[in-house]
Structures are given as structure tokens and as C-alpha cells.
């Protein structure tokens, strides 16, 4: 297994092999080891690869760097999460440009049942801070994983509020795990490792260059069920994250502000373009996301007695009786059904209003 991890890391070092190309290679060859052992003629036939990229793979020899990266991970209790790893944030798998490898240090479940990303300007107003604090406080009964970018301003406020309300919180970084940026958040990051986590796709030694942050932002957008923009100008990192969330079909919320306030202009633009719901209060967000606490289990069980389920549907229903909100990947693994049987059963259960499809290929029993 150690050899396979080294090959996985090495794959991310190869020039021209980005997340899309790596995903295509893994889909065909199954493992990173198989990719490096395949013939260049076979590799170059893969979609998006071609002759030059295939030669780059075959000529790659700097496996020492990959071994050093793994040694760094072991020393600092960092988990390298390859795209096929069961602990990899599965919501990202629905994104065409999902990172090939992620490095994670922390204790939070990246595949929590409910995940929210909260973002906003680095130079927030008191209004923005108040909205963020109240939002996170209102989410505390719902056991939601709070994700943000560990930047100054709204990001840091969201992380701190999560810790204060005993919610797990994960910071997505635009650099390697051997540094923290901005430096003023070092103590916050340390606490988050113990009560949440830090996540990045960048290897050690990667500095926080500006062009890294859009890549960081796509992870923050893609690993969540919904994204809330607290305050933002029409340009900047928060708007990039919001646009990515919209492209990924994540539920997007924006906090309205004064028409004359530039720090609310981005939020108002998202609302005007019908890309984002207007965020008004926590209860409305929770209801929109189907995160209500008052689940009537007895009523569901009673109703299920009057519905004739096929054997496949009963298998799925048994899973929902244990866990009322479940991702499609978990249903596939736990049910043991093949893809076509699972899809047919889920469709029929949706038509009978037994289950509800939610963003991110997540299903909820009604």
C-alpha cells in the first residue's frame, strides 16, 4: 500500500496532469501504480492525455519527492486522501475537476451528513460578523460541519463561531500544511486541528500564491451541501467560490445588505441574477436544506406499512431506517445492489414520495 500511495502522490507531480486528466487515468487503470506501469501507447489513448502527457508520465523519475511528501504526512499525522479513498470528501466526486489528492489534518468527518460553507470579505462590517455569529449559533443543534477558507474576516469569524458552539469546522487552505496563512490565524488553526481540521490539495512547501486560491475555493464550494455568502464585493474570492457553487449545483444563499454598501454588492448581484436564495434566517435555511430536527420516525414507519416495496426497495428502506439522510455512494455500498437496480429502486421510491432527492446526490426519507 505504501508503494501505491507514493505513486498516487507522484501522479500529482507530473507536468500536464491536472485533476481532470488524473481522474480519467484512474477511471481506466484503477490505480496509480497501474498508470505508471502502463505502456505509453496505452496511456496516450486516454481522453485528455495525448502523446506529450503520456511521455511525461513515463519519463517521471522523481519518486524521492513523493516519498518525502509521504514522510512529512506521517510525521505530522496528515492523511493523504486520494480520489478513490473512502475518506475522500465524496461530494467533490460530483465535480468534474475534483482534486486528485487532498492532504488532511484533523478529526472532523469530511463526509458529515450536513455540510455548510460560509464565506465572505476579509474586511467585514459589524453587520457581517453579527450575521455570521447568529447563523453558526443557529446551526449548533443540527450538528453541521462548518467549512471556510481560514482567511481573515468572515472566514475566521465562522471558524471561531463553530468552535464556540461545539461544531466541527474545517479550513480549506491555498498552500501546504507546513505553514498557516494568514499568520494571525495560527492559534485558530491549531485549535481547529483538534476540533475540526485543515484540508488542502497543495504539497508541503507550496506558498500562498494568489493563483492557488481559486483552486482552494472550488474545494470549499464542492465539498458542501450549501454555500452562504455573508458579505462580498462584486469581485473577489467569495464571488469565485459562489460561482463555483452555482456551477456545481450547490444551494447558494446570499445575505442582502444596503444598496449603497459595496461589501454587499456581490451578494445583491447573486440574488438579482437568481443564482442565490436570499438568506433571511437560520430556520428558513434549515428548512430549505431539509435539516429539520423534528423528524417523525413513527409516522414514517407507520406509512411504510401501507406501501408495497420491492425487495430492492426494502433493502434501501432498511438503510434509511438507520440513517434518514444518506448519500448515493453509501446506498450503493451498503445495499450491495448494482447501479441500474439501485437507480430504478430510488426512482420508484421518489415517485411514491418515500424519499426526496437533495443537492449533492444525497437522499432523505420523507
Per-residue model confidence (pLDDT) at position 259 = 87
Q: For 76, list phi and psi in degrees, rounded to 5.
A: -105, 15
Residues 320 and 282 placed together within one structural domain of the fold:
no
Q: Is residue 94 part of a domain?
A: no
Residues 254 and 276 placed together within one structural domain of the fold:
yes
Between 341 and 158, residue with greater pLDDT: 158
Q: Is residue 309 part of a domain?
A: yes
Q: Specify the DSSP class assigned to residue 103.
A: E
Give the total number of structural domains in the chain. 3
Residues 278 and 345 placed together within one structural domain of the fold:
no
Three-state DSSP at 60 gives coil
Residues 301 and 205 placed together within one structural domain of the fold:
no
pLDDT-derived band at 301 (thresholds 50, 70, 90) equals very low
Residues 172 and 63 placed together within one structural domain of the fold:
no
Residues 136 and 239 placed together within one structural domain of the fold:
yes
Other Cβ atoms within 10 Å of 210 Cβ, number: 8
Per-residue model confidence (pLDDT) at position 306 = 53
Bridge-partner residues for 106, per DSSP? 197
Residue 28 has pLDDT above 70, yes or no: yes
Q: Whole-angstrom distance between the N-terminal and C-terminal Cα of the chain?
A: 42
Residues 111 and 235 placed together within one structural domain of the fold:
yes
pLDDT-derived band at 365 (thresholds 50, 70, 90) equals confident
Residues 241 and 213 placed together within one structural domain of the fold:
yes
The pLDDT tens digits of the residues spanning 52-94 come to 999 999 999 999 999 999 999 999 999 999 988 889 999 998 8
The pLDDT tens digits of the residues spanning 139-156 come to 999 999 999 999 999 999
The pLDDT tens digits of the residues spanning 115-130 come to 999 999 999 999 999 9
pTM metric for this prediction: 0.78
Q: What is the CATH number of the domain that holds 126?
A: 3.40.50.450
Q: Is residue 84 part of a domain?
A: no
Task: Provide the domain limits for residue 67.
Answer: 2-75
Q: Average pLDDT in the 6-27 region? A: 90
Q: Is residue 163 part of a domain?
A: yes
Residues 170 and 285 placed together within one structural domain of the fold:
yes
Residues 12 and 118 placed together within one structural domain of the fold:
no
Q: Is residue 97 part of a domain?
A: no
Residues 111 and 211 placed together within one structural domain of the fold:
yes
Q: Is residue 88 part of a domain?
A: no
Task: Give CA 1 to chain center in angstroms.
Answer: 25
Q: Is residue 28 part of a domain?
A: yes
Q: What is the CATH number of the domain that holds 32?
A: 1.10.150.20
The pLDDT tens digits of the residues spanning 286-298 come to 998 989 875 444 4
Residues 211 and 319 placed together within one structural domain of the fold:
no
Q: Average pLDDT in the 12-37 region? A: 90
List Cα–Cα distances, 230 to 1, 131, 234, 251, 285, in angstroms: 43, 7, 13, 14, 13
Q: Is residue 345 part of a domain?
A: yes
Amino acid at each position: 500500500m505504501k508503494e501505491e500511495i507514493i505513486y498516487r502522490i507522484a501522479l500529482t507531480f507530473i507536468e500536464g496532469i491536472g485533476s481532470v486528466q488524473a481522474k480519467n487515468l484512474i477511471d481506466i487503470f484503477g490505480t496509480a501504480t497501474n498508470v505508471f506501469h502502463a505502456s505509453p501507447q496505452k496511456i496516450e489513448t486516454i481522453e485528455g492525455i495525448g502523446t506529450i502527457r503520456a511521455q511525461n508520465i513515463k519519463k517521471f523519475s522523481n519518486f524521492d519527492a513523493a516519498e518525502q511528501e509521504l514522510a512529512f504526512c506521517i510525521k505530522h499525522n496528515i492523511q493523504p486522501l486520494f480520489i478513490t479513498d473512502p475518506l475522500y470528501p465524496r461530494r467533490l466526486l460530483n465535480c468534474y475537476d475534483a482534486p486528485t489528492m487532498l492532504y488532511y489534518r484533523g478529526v472532523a468527518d469530511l463526509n458529515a451528513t450536513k455540510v455548510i460553507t460560509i464565506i465572505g470579505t476579509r474586511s467585514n462590517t459589524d453587520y457581517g460578523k453579527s450575521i455570521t455569529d447568529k447563523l453558526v449559533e443557529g446551526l449548533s443543534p443540527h450538528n453541521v460541519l462548518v467549512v471556510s477558507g481560514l482567511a481573515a474576516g468572515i472566514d475566521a469569524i465562522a471558524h471561531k463561531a463553530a468552535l464556540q458552539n461545539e461544531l466541527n469546522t474545517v479550513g480549506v487552505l491555498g498552500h501546504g500544511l507546513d505553514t498557516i496563512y494568514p499568520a494571525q490565524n495560527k492559534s485558530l488553526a491549531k485549535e481547529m486541528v483538534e476540533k475540526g481540521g485543515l484540508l488542502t490539495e497543495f504539497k508541503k512547501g507550496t506558498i500562498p500564491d494568489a493563483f492557488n486560491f481559486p483552486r482552494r475555493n472550488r474545494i470549499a464550494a464542492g465539498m458542501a451541501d450549501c454555500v452562504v455568502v455573508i458579505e462580498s464585493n462584486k469581485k473577489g474570492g467569495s464571488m469565485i467560490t459562489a460561482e463555483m457553487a452555482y456551477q456545481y449545483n450547490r444551494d447558494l444563499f446570499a445575505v442582502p445588505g444596503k444598496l449603497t454598501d459595496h461589501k454587499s454588492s456581490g451578494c445583491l448581484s447573486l440574488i438579482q441574477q437568481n443564482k442565490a436564495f436570499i438568506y433571511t434566517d437560520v430556520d428558513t435555511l434549515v428548512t430549505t436544506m431539509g435539516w429539520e430536527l423534528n423528524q417523525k420516525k413513527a409516522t414514517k414507519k407507520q406509512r411504510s406499512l401501507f406501501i408495497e416495496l420491492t425487495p430492492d426497495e426494502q433493502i434501501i428502506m432498511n438503510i434509511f431506517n438507520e440513517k434518514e439522510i444518506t448519500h448515493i455512494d453509501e446506498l450503493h455500498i451498503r445495499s450491495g445492489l448494482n447501479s441500474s437496480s439501485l437507480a430504478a429502486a430510488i426512482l420508484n421510491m421518489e415517485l411514491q414520495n418515500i424519499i426526496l432527492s437533495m443537492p449533492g446526490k444525497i437522499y432523505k426519507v420523507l
